[in-house]
Amino acid sequence: MSNEKPPTVLITGCTDGSIGHNLVLSFARQGYQIFATARRVSAMSSLIAIPNITLLELDVTSPDSIRTAHETVSEFTSGKLDILYNNAGVRFMSMGIDTTYKVAMDTMAVNFSGIVEMVHVFSDLLIASRGKIVFTSSGAGKLPVPTQAMYNASKAALDSYAMTLRIEMQPLGVGVINVITGQISTGADTMGTQALPPLDAKSPYKPIEKALSKFWTSDRPMMDVKKYSDAVVQRVIGKSSPEVIWMGTGFVWWMNFLNLAWLFNVLMAREFGLNKLNMEKV
């Protein structure tokens, strides 16, 4: 019997039923030793009985929490980590002019700043193993989707960070993979079906509120989360992993590939009824 230790991966944002939860299961099927994390261990209760999974409390917006997790993982793995999978994310729904400083800071804290701190703290373990850093990004970083301007901006910032980090980490033997994710079905709490909160009565967008909300409540094709996670993990663990993985984002990929990004403005304005706003009495 081989005494070789299984490869290791730490995944953030692993609450039951989420993308992170399914990534844990996909890595488990590949024989990985997994550190599954969330702000509350109780939020990952369905993973408790699965072998080779260690549940850790980790708040990516807390440097102290991140350092505590690092100490635990480092002790368990003798100072090495094969994959750091930055998956945790949040989305606050609001129009651009309704986005407050607090909303902006809270969004960036999870979707960007917390990721930067995770990479900073865990970099020594990844360099020691010549491992990989993975990000769950979004097609929203490439597409100006109305009602979620701050979320779009946070993912665009993550994309730029990943591109730069990839160049910097290459001579250290660490790979950087950015997973551009589309609409993924994870059940009732699917982020893509999150409702737009009611607009203020004085909002200039009030006349088209129904159109703005309709997009998020209408049926749209979504990729099954198990199919998504299995496909992503297979590509992440491959010997020649791609730098960017597009998954469930066919429309956005084609628009970028054909250099038709300018059409986004027209299509998004029409989809959300913004092209009719100037015809309404505001």
Is 276 inside any structural domain?
no
- The total domain count for the chain is 1
Query: For residue 279, what pLDDT band results from cuts at 50, 70 and 90?
Result: low
Range of the domain at 257: 8-195+222-261
Candidate list 32, 85, 151, 228, residue with the active-site label: 151
CA-to-CA separations, 121 to 116, 126, 137, in angstroms, rounded: 9, 10, 20
Q: Is pLDDT above 90 for 76?
A: yes
Could you tell me if 242 and 235 are in contact, meaning their C-beta atoms sit under 8 angstroms apart?
Answer: yes
Mean pLDDT computed over 264-269:
82
Inform me whether the pLDDT recorded for 53 exceeds 90.
yes
Structural domain contains residue 71: yes
Reading the block at residue 105, the tokens are 């800071």
Q: 3-class SS at 190?
A: coil
| Structural domain includes residue 189 | yes
- pTM for this prediction: 0.91
39 φ/ψ angles, rounded to the nearest 5 degrees:
-65, -30
Q: Label residue 120 exposed, middle or buried (CB < 10 Å: 0-12, 13-18, 19+).
A: exposed
The mean pLDDT of the chain is: 90
Most confident of 26-35, 136-145, 209-218: 26-35
Per the CB < 8 A criterion, the answer to whether 177 and 134 are in contact is: yes
Q: How far is CA 68 from the centre of its chain?
A: 22
Query: Which segment of 17-21, 103-107, 151-155, 261-265 scores lowest on mean pLDDT?
Result: 261-265
Give the model confidence (pLDDT) of 201-251 as tens digits. Answer: 999 999 999 999 888 877 777 899 999 999 999 999 998 889 999 987 666
pLDDT above 50 for 282:
no
Separation CA 103–CA 37 (nearest Å): 24
Rounded percentage of the chain residues whose pLDDT exceeds 90: 71
207 located within any domain: no
Q: Does residue 271 form part of some domain? A: no
- For position 250, what pLDDT does the model report? 66
147, part of any domain:
yes
Residue 87 has pLDDT above 60, yes or no: yes
Query: Which of 113-117, 174-178, 258-262 is predicted with the least confidence, judged by mean pLDDT?
Result: 258-262
Whole-number Å distance between alpha carbons of 10 and 35:
5
pLDDT in tens, 31-51: 999 999 999 999 999 999 999
Our answer to whether residue 206 is catalytic in this structure is no
What CATH number has the domain bearing residue 182? 3.40.50.720
Q: What confidence tier does 93 reach under pLDDT thresholds 50, 70, 90?
A: very high
264 pLDDT band, cuts 50/70/90, is: confident
| 40 located within any domain | yes
pLDDT of residue 188: 45
pLDDT category at 1 given cuts 50, 70, 90 is very low
Active-site residue, selected from the candidate residues 80, 132, 142, 155: 155
Which of the pair, 4 or 1, is modelled with greater confidence? 4
The question of whether 155 is a catalytic residue gets the answer yes
48 CB neighbour count, 10 Å cutoff:
11
Across-strand partners of 277? none
Higher pLDDT, 115 or 188: 115
Structure-token pair, residue 46: 């369905």
Give domain status of residue 268, yes or no.
Answer: no
pLDDT tens digits for range 152-199: 999 999 999 999 999 999 999 999 999 999 888 876 455 655 778 999
Confidence (pLDDT) at 254: 62
* Percentage of residues of the chain with pLDDT beyond 70: 90
